[in-house]
Amino acid sequence: MTDLFTIPVRVYYEDTDAEGIVYYANYLKFAERARTEFLRNRGLRPEIKKDDERCAFVARHAEIDYKQSAFLDDLLSVSCEIRELKNSSAVVYQEIKRGKDVLAVVCVTLVFINIAKHRPTRIPDDMRRKFQ
């Protein structure tokens, strides 16, 4: 649905365990960084005003498939692509790679919510256009 967006991520000591292997939860952090930069690249902020109310995307569901390990000092690329866009949600597909090797695949369902009401709300049309 959208063009592939990619950011580089260097693996630092803080990202690894005692053996220098990236700790499993950090792949989700790398994916989150790419999603945040993806929004910024399209002129959107993590928190958005809609009809004078604060709204934001929140994760509803996440799946990750680990294929290979990343190691200390690896230079990774993390992609972000909207695969599905509904009234108040989006499905984001992401790959974390080292060179051509896919290390992990992440699929996240985001829901656009009204922060004060803690309820899903429709994604504004101008924002939808920025995703396409």
What are the extents of the domains in the chain?
Answer: 5-131
**For 71-126, what is each residue's pLDDT tens digit?**
999 999 999 999 999 999 999 999 999 999 999 999 999 999 998 899 999 998 98
| pLDDT tens per residue, range 7-23 | 999 999 999 999 999 99
**How far apart are alpha carbons 112 and 77 in whole angstroms?**
26
Neighbours of 112 (CB within 10 A): 21
25-75 pLDDT per residue, tens: 999 999 999 999 998 998 887 666 666 678 889 999 999 999 999 999 999
pLDDT for res 53: 78
Q: What is the pLDDT of residue 1?
A: 59
Name the residue among 71, 57, 68, 37 with its Cα closest to residue 120. 57
pTM of the model: 0.90
Q: Residue 90 is encoded by which pair of tokens? A: 């989006």
E strands present in the chain: 5-10, 47-50, 53-66, 75-85, 89-98, 101-114, 119-120
Range 5-131: architecture per CATH: Roll (3.10)
Residue 132: band (very low, low, confident or very high) from pLDDT cuts 50, 70, 90? confident
Task: Name the residues annotated as catalytic.
Answer: 17
